[in-house]
Amino acid sequence: MSSYEGGGMRALPEPERVTPDTVLALTLLNVQTLAALRDIKAFHLETELEGMGRKQNEVSSALGRANQRTQASTVLNEARQVDAAKDQYALENNKRGSMTPTFSDLTPYLKAGSKIATNGGKDSLGNPFDIGRIDDRLRVSPATKETLKDTTGGDTFWGPYS
């Protein structure tokens, strides 16, 4: 008889016998840091899921910005390649001043088979470069700059190609 029975309380049930097939749930605690736990709250699944949703949105937004920054860097690199091809074309063909080369004039000065050589004078977003006259700088398409403006900060990113 349990000491609880005399006082009107029910006896504690017998503990379950542990066998080799008994599943045990274990929790490991670091007792040195246990005293530092002060903000222990009840677990609410809905609240946790909402928090995870916000974090997922933040990560998605950051990845989107990183992807746009990569696209902007790719377009800037393409502009440099086309501009260098334009300079090489002018030098080798003794072209000056107001002469305006076509993209097919510049293609031999780009790496054969590369995306920039085969895209018909368009950047990786599909917008055409403004090749301009020999004496003028190549320009990135206004449509490309508009698409990527949130990550480039405007014309300063594009430097001489804006």
Q: Is residue 21 part of a domain?
A: no
pLDDT tens for 15-29 read: 888 888 888 877 777
Q: 101 is in which domain, residue-wise?
A: 63-154
Percent of the chain with pLDDT over 70: 92
Instruction: Tell if the pTM clears 0.75, that is, is over it.
Output: no
Is residue 4 in some structural domain? Answer: no
Q: Is residue 14 part of a domain?
A: no
List beta partners, residue 128. Answer: 122
The model's pLDDT over 51-94, given as tens digits with 9 standing for 90+, comes to: 888 888 888 888 888 889 999 999 999 999 999 999 999 999 99
Q: Does 74 reside within a domain?
A: yes
131 lies in some domain: yes
Distance (Å) of CA 100 to CA 90, 110, 115: 10, 18, 23
- The dihedral over CA atoms of 65, 67, 69, 70, expressed in degrees to the nearest 10, equals 170
Q: Say whether pLDDT at 149 is over 80.
A: yes
Bridge-partner residues for 122, per DSSP?
Answer: 128
Asked if residue 128 belongs to a domain, the reply is yes
**Cα 147 to Cα 145: distance, rounded to the nearest angstrom:** 6
Q: State the sign of the Cα–Cα–Cα–Cα dihedral 63, 127, 136, 85.
A: positive
Rounded-to-integer distance, Cα 51 and Cα 44, Å: 11
How many other C-beta atoms are found inside a 10 Å radius of the C-beta of residue 71?
18
Say how many domains are in the chain. Answer: 1
pLDDT digits (tens, 9 = 90+) for 32-57: 777 666 776 777 778 877 888 888 88
What is the predicted pLDDT for the residue at 1? 47
